[in-house]
Amino acid sequence: MKKIILLCLGGLLILLAGRCSDFLEHEPYGSTSDNFWKTEADIRSALDAFYDYTNYEGVCGRGVFYYENCSDDMFTGRPQAPSDAYNCENFTMGAVNDLDVNTTWPVMYRMINKANNVLRYVPDMKVPEAVKSNAIGQALFFRAYANLWLAPWYADNGPNGGIPIVTEQTPVDEIDVARPPTILDNYNAIIADLREAARRLPRLSQMAESDYGRPYKTAAWAFAARAALYAAQYTDNSRAAEKHSQQEYYSMVVALCDSIINLTGADRRALHVAAPGSERTNFADLFRWENNFSTEYIYSLLGNEIAGPKFHGMFFQAGGWGWYNTWGYFMPTLSLYQAYESEGDVERREATILAPGEYIKFIGHDVYWCVEPSLMYSESAMTNRKFMSIFEDADCVGKYVNVSGNNQSNRLAVHIMRYADVLLMKAEALIWRDGEGNAEARELINDVRERAGLPRNSAATKAELKKERRLEFAFEFFPSRHLDLLRWGDAATVYAQPTEGWQVAVNGSTITKTVVTVRQPRRFDPTKHHVFPIPDTEIRKSKNLKQNAGY
């Protein structure tokens, strides 16, 4: 890994959906400058710099989905040159590639370095203790968050080990550290950072609206729960050296989720429900920019029509028929569509997938998807609807969406953690710890099902929990469907199936859909493909960083 030097950051402007002030200032910062690390304004500038990552294409644009599109929910869409997207989808990817996802590793380690700078310098500053404590809490949150973004994709409990752990105690000239023996070292460090962050951070009710989108107590608890849930897959109870047993990690998940579920008053979190008289279903209403901070909000990536995350239009019709340049990079699978169908899960299905003959408004135009198949671009004859509300209005461009289709930043938040995930994480921990049929897990799953318009008839089985997570979080990246399949041990079986879609023919008002194979079964090797290769550019910069086995 390249030595992470102390960077000076230029001005990246991110406005928060009409509710929040600018998070990033235009003044650069550094650790040794005589005129920095002196005032509260300096601290604010350092904290704002954490949000730099949201504007990177490889982190919050199509890049995040190049790994996720190997799941059974989606596949690579438009033709690519080079073919690294297909190689990723087919588990034939090498360490040398040109995908935007290569940006993620260095960007996240820069975030870790920014956090460490705060942790090094803020404690000795002559500012109020409350300001110090909040800054330290935010730095701990972002250090943990960056590690949690990377570790599940690149690390394991053998043969590769964890990802390098760099803290404020790591001397700058020794920052090229070796990988720890196990990913559990990472998860334990993440949980510790987030617990301490939660102790220091305010509750949401204590924050000014202009600070919504910054870390707060509930978000720290939720991400700690996710780290503990992910850690549980790697425990081997026969190895006494491991710090926690699988049962202990599941108990951590339950306790951390309870900290959120039991909140009251203005801090109470709940599943989002549309306003009375709304024409939209409860689930569809959640994915509108006006509801970025609904009761379901735990933590999101925020942006606006100037800068910020870009992947909302990554799925939709390439070129947008000339109305707006959406990109068409990813396409839903028939397997996902049929998973909704098998449950009679109409509300979530229609809010998530646009299927042949279904209606959507796009840049003020009425679109009936695939009624003229020659004008629609999708190998599966389906596209994403979940994030498309931001593109409805005829005047949305420049108002809610970036004027350039090559950018696509917009006001719709990207859900990274929402309350439904808290409920299903706790339900999963209870089922895996205490057994199928757990009464409390049934009620938690039923709450999610009821919001989706389904009956409260959960049996709280492992199979049902897996399906519920798939249908609730499709296309949301975090939580990742691919990572879920890996940790459940289901990836090899699922990926051995062909990927199917539809071929559509239209005769008058009749739409005929024929099932076709759009991708052949993949050869998934669980001893290698449970992790992706660390970008070769990072390996070559380091003396100590070792590449994952087989790459």
Mean pLDDT by 10 residues, the chain (551 residues): 32 33 42 79 96 92 90 88 83 89 94 97 97 98 98 96 97 93 97 98 97 98 98 74 88 98 98 95 98 98 95 93 96 98 95 98 97 94 97 98 96 97 98 98 98 97 98 95 97 98 96 97 96 96 96 95
Identify the pLDDT of residue 241.
55
Identify the pLDDT of residue 317.
95
CA 532 to chain centre: 17
DSSP 318: G
DSSP 82: S
In DSSP terms, 366 is beta-bridged to 361
Identify the pLDDT of residue 77.
86
Determine the Cα–Cα distance for residues 456 and 464; give it in Å rounded to an integer. Answer: 13
Residue 57: HSE in the Cβ half-sphere, 13 Å Cα cutoff: 9
Identify the pLDDT of residue 18.
36
Determine the Cα–Cα distance for residues 311 and 388; give it in Å rounded to an integer. Answer: 11
Identify the pLDDT of residue 7.
31
CA dihedral of 260, 262, 266, 272, whole degrees rounded to 10: 70
Identify the pLDDT of residue 71.
97
Residue type at position 11: G
Residue 243: HSE in the Cβ half-sphere, 13 Å Cα cutoff: 17
Residue type at position 198: A
CB proximity list for 198: less than 8 A, separation 6 or greater:
137, 217, 220, 221, 224
Identify the pLDDT of residue 477.
87
Identify the pLDDT of residue 6.
31
State the distance between the two ends of the chain, measured CA to CA, in whole angstroms. 16
Q: Where is 539: in which H helix or E strand?
A: helix 536-540
Q: What are phi and psi of 297, to 5 degrees?
A: -60, 125
pLDDT tens figures, 398-414:
999 999 999 999 999 99
Quick check: 351 and 283 in contact, CB under 8 A?
yes
**Closest C-alpha to 104, from 543, 537, 414, 549:** 537
**Closest C-alpha to 418, from 490, 462, 469:** 469
Quick check: 285 and 37 in contact, CB under 8 A?
no
Quick check: 337 and 350 in contact, CB under 8 A?
no
Identify the pLDDT of residue 21.
34
Q: What are phi and psi of 500, to 5 degrees?
A: -120, 155
Identify the pLDDT of residue 10.
29
DSSP 388: G
